[in-house]
């Protein structure tokens, strides 16, 4: 192995990275696979990995129209938690959190999981009651949750404005200490490298332009590089789900729109955990590079515009500055957006579809990063057995005809 001396790094830089070992192959697209996964975000890559690892299905292709993680997986603010409200959701998200806890080891790739705590704030006594109810519901399901009074909130986040005279006074909050953040690119790259090593073909710059269906059975996909036959096809394309599902004649109960976020210039460590205020609609954390990371609610109108806009910037920043007035002295460095697919009950839509051999992973809305390990694990199981994994049974497309919704709008972290 080559030595990583300063001189070698400079030499590599000047040579334009020649002779670097690629982390995954750049395979030629075959004309036939057992399973084709459309979308090289975290959900698609994790599904491919678990298909190969847990079910021995390795003749799999992940087709990505751009670059791996170039969708929401590489644009998100990386909150990980399992503190939803209903048991259907907490069971699923707790499975994901547990998989995250072992993920660096599983993939032999450091995903930089940092369980620094996710704190939800209450700004009046009524909200304290609601958070108490929420945390009790979680505790009853065996998941960690803790109520904090205003003094405890102040010790956790000394820069938060906890004065009673604040525009939105803090009464306390509810924390999941096992919640936290992970490095988003590393999650995509770790799954990609591990799936590739098991024989999965990951093909970038390969847009799926049509899905071949005959007599309600999937036959394969059409790409810019030609027709690819497959017995099973999974759609994991986040903000493009309605467009891609329509290729197979499926209409989804999904609204797509932008979710924006922004970062400040980097500063020294100032914030330990991730803090959410559902009242002012802002959440704030500090990245490992030192930037103060700020996000807010999803845009209130449908759109495929994958970029930030001034009204959301002003709205979210004024909300964040209500909580942390001292951050007004920071310079804003960057703002961006991803397109999120929002379902009517703010829960995912995962599993089989009315087209035999066609599977869906969508409706992750503003919260599918934390779901990547469990989404991949359970969808792989569903594809391998053509039977829903018990953890995603409540999240099938059929709930929009049976009416068995899992309404998690209040626990979604950000308003959408
Ligand atoms: P993506 O990562 O978007 O991957 C889908 C891929 O499909 C894309 O790479 C796209 O290029 C590809 N694709 C689309 N159409 C085609 C086609 N026709 N052919 C081939 N490929 C195609 N979640 C959390 O849990 N915590 C958070 O803190 C959080 N914060 C967020 C903040 C922002 C600003 C945003 C935008 C999202 C946030 N999310 C968060 C949500 C989370 O990012 C997503 O739910 C998750 O990344 C979805 O993963 P995915 O693999 O389904 O989608
Ligand atoms: O899902 O917890 C979440 C979240 C926080 C910010 C964006 N999504």
pLDDT at 282: 95
Average pLDDT, the chain: 95
Domain ranges of the chain: 30-114+179-254+343-416, 115-178+257-340
Q: What is the CATH number of domain 115-178+257-340?
A: 3.30.9.10
pLDDT tens string 98-134: 999 999 999 999 999 999 999 999 999 999 999 999 9
- Coil/strand/helix, residue 239: helix
Taking the CA of 364 as reference, the closest ligand is: 1
Cα of 340 to ligand 1 centre, how many Å? 7
Going by alpha carbons, the residue nearest to atom 12 of ligand 1 is 39
What is the Cβ-side half-sphere exposure of residue 384, based on CA atoms within 13 angstroms? 20
Q: Is the beta carbon of 120 within 6 A of some atom in ligand 1?
A: no
- Minimum-distance ligand 1 atom for the alpha carbon of 371: 25
pLDDT at 9: 75
State the burial class of residue 16 (Cβ atoms within 10 Å of its Cβ: 0-12, 13-18, 19+): exposed
CATH class of 30-114+179-254+343-416: alpha beta
Going by alpha carbons, the residue nearest to atom 1 of ligand 2 is 367
Q: What is the best residue among 77, 181, 348 to mutate for testing ligand 2's pocket, by most ligand atoms within 8 Å of CB?
A: 77
pLDDT at 41: 98
Beta strands 226-235; 32-38: pairing state: parallel
Q: What is the best residue among 366, 369, 372, 415 to mutate for testing ligand 2's pocket, by most ligand atoms within 8 Å of CB?
A: 366
Around ligand 2, the residues with Cβ closer than 6 Å are 77, 79, 81, 283, 295, 366-367, 370, 413-414
Alpha carbon 78 to its chain centroid, in Å, reads 7
Q: What is the best residue among 276, 278, 347, 348 to mutate for testing ligand 2's pocket, by most ligand atoms within 8 Å of CB?
A: 276
Flag residues of the chain having pLDDT under 70.
Answer: 1-4, 17, 415-416
State the burial class of residue 103 (Cβ atoms within 10 Å of its Cβ: 0-12, 13-18, 19+): buried
Q: Is the beta carbon of 43 within 6 A of some atom in ligand 1?
A: yes
pLDDT at 1: 46
Cα of 286 to ligand 2 centre, how many Å? 14
pLDDT at 248: 98
- Minimum-distance ligand 2 atom for the alpha carbon of 118: 2
Taking the CA of 416 as reference, the closest ligand is: 2
Return all residues near 318 (Cβ < 8 A) that are at least 6 apart: none
């Amino acid at each position: 192995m080559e030595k990583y001396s300063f001189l070698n790094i400079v030499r590599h830089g000047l040579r334009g990275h020649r002779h670097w070992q690629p982390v995954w192959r750049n395979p030629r697209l075959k004309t036939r696979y057992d399973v084709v996964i459309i979308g090289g975000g975290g959900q698609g890559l994790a599904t491919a990995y678990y298909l190969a690892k847990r079910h021995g299905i390795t003749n799999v292709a992940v087709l990505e129209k751009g670059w791996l993680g170039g969708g929401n997986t590489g644009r998100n603010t990386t909150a990980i938690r399992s503190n939803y409200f209903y048991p259907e959701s907490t069971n699923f998200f707790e499975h994901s959190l547990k998989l995250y806890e072992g993920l660096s080891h599983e993939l032999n790739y450091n995903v930089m999981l940092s369980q620094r705590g996710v704190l939800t704030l209450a700004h009046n006594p009524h909200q304290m009651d609601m958070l108490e109810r929420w945390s009790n519901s979680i505790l009853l399901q065996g998941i960690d949750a803790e109520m904090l009074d205003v003094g405890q909130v102040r010790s956790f986040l000394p820069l938060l404005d906890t004065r009673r005279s604040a525009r939105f006074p803090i009464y306390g909050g509810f924390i999941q200490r096992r919640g936290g953040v992970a490095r988003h690119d590393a999650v995509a790259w770790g799954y990609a490298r591990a799936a590739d090593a098991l024989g999965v073909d990951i093909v970038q710059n390969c847009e799926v332009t049509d899905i071949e269906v005959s007599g309600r059975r999937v036959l394969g996909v059409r790409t810019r590089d030609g027709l690819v036959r497959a017995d099973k096809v999974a759609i994991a394309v986040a903000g493009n789900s309605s467009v891609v599902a329509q290729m197979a004649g499926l209409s989804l109960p999904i609204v797509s729109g932008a979710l924006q976020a922004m970062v400040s210039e980097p500063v020294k460590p100032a914030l330990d955990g991730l803090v959410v205020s559902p009242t002012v609609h802002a959440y704030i954390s500090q990245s490992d590079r030192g930037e103060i990371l700020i996000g807010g609610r999803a845009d209130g109108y449908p759109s495929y515009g994958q970029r930030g806009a001034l009204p959301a910037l002003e709205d979210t920043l004024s909300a964040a500055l209500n909580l942390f007035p001292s951050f007004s002295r920071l310079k804003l460095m960057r703002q961006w957006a991803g397109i999120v697919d929002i379902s009517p009950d703010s829960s995912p839509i995962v599993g089989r579809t009315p087209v035999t051999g066609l599977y869906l992973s969508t409706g992750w809305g503003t919260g599918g990063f934390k779901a990547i390990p469990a989404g991949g694990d359970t969808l792989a199981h569903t594809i391998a057995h053509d039977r829903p994994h018990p953890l995603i049974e409540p999240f099938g497309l059929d709930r929009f005809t049976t009416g068995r919704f899992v309404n998690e709008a209040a626990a979604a972290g950000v308003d959408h």
